[in-house]
Amino acid sequence: MGWLKTYWLFSFDDYYDPENTNFGNLRVYNDDIIAANSGFPTHPHSEMEIITIVLDGELSHEDSSGGKGKIKAGEVQRMSAGNGIMHSEFNNSSNPVHLHQIWITPNKQDLKPSYSQKDFSKLLKKNSLTLIASGKKEKNALQIQANASISRGTLAKGKSLKLKIKPSSKVFVYVIEGTLDVNGQAFGKNDQARISAEKALSLKAKSKCDFILIESWN
């Protein structure tokens, strides 16, 4: 598709790798750039928690549950596809839109479809993680029906974070900008780290960093 520049981190559409269909409850992570006046026409989804993070530009959304609106840079949308939903995503502007779309397997089936979104542009914390979606009830975070959490992190050069994690959890890190050391290994822009069977997570910025961190559990 000439109007779509995309990077699929897991099996998706006509890309299929039986060894790369998921990581824990994380099923899809797509890094998309949609050209001006282009987008995805109405299409179905079911039994999936879909989170859309807009980095640049503006995306118009409309779905069969009554959800309708624009998702702007800094905003995050949560859509629970539940037992079935139809929706469209379109860039009606004259500039490209850059977004990340994340699909997570829900912890309950046959739910009623629902939709919400939130502006995190003024909530992102410097040199820290900002929780943007969670399967647990958390202040300021969008609630998803899944055993997972999604955070966005920013670190200035030389700054670091140390996190305790359960060995049974799976942690996925995707670098948006910069170079980030994850447990001593360097990851650059558009790189991903997949961590499992660890009790701790060490993150250190080799340069100014922006990244997404997803933790999932049983």
Residue 68 confidence (pLDDT): 87
Same domain, 57 and 89: yes
Does 115 lie in the same domain as 9? yes
- Domain tally for the chain? 2
Range of the domain at 16: 4-119
Half-sphere exposure of 82 (CA within 13 A, CB side): 15
Q: Which of 73, 91, 119 is the last residue of a domain?
A: 119
Domain identity same for 106 and 139: no
Token pair, residue 35, equals 């050209």
From residue 125, alpha-carbon distances to 129, 151, 154, 196, 207 in Å are 7, 11, 7, 26, 17
Confidence (pTM): 0.96
Classify the phi-psi angles of 184: left when phi > 0, otherwise alpha if psi is within -120 to 50, otherwise beta: left
Q: 44 vs 16, 21, 84, 85, 91, CA distance in Å?
A: 20, 20, 7, 6, 19
pLDDT in tens, 65-103: 888 899 999 999 999 999 999 999 999 999 999 999 999
Can you give the pLDDT at residue 218? 92
Average of per-residue pLDDT across 31-57: 97
Residues 61 and 31 in one domain: yes
108 and 37, same structural domain? yes
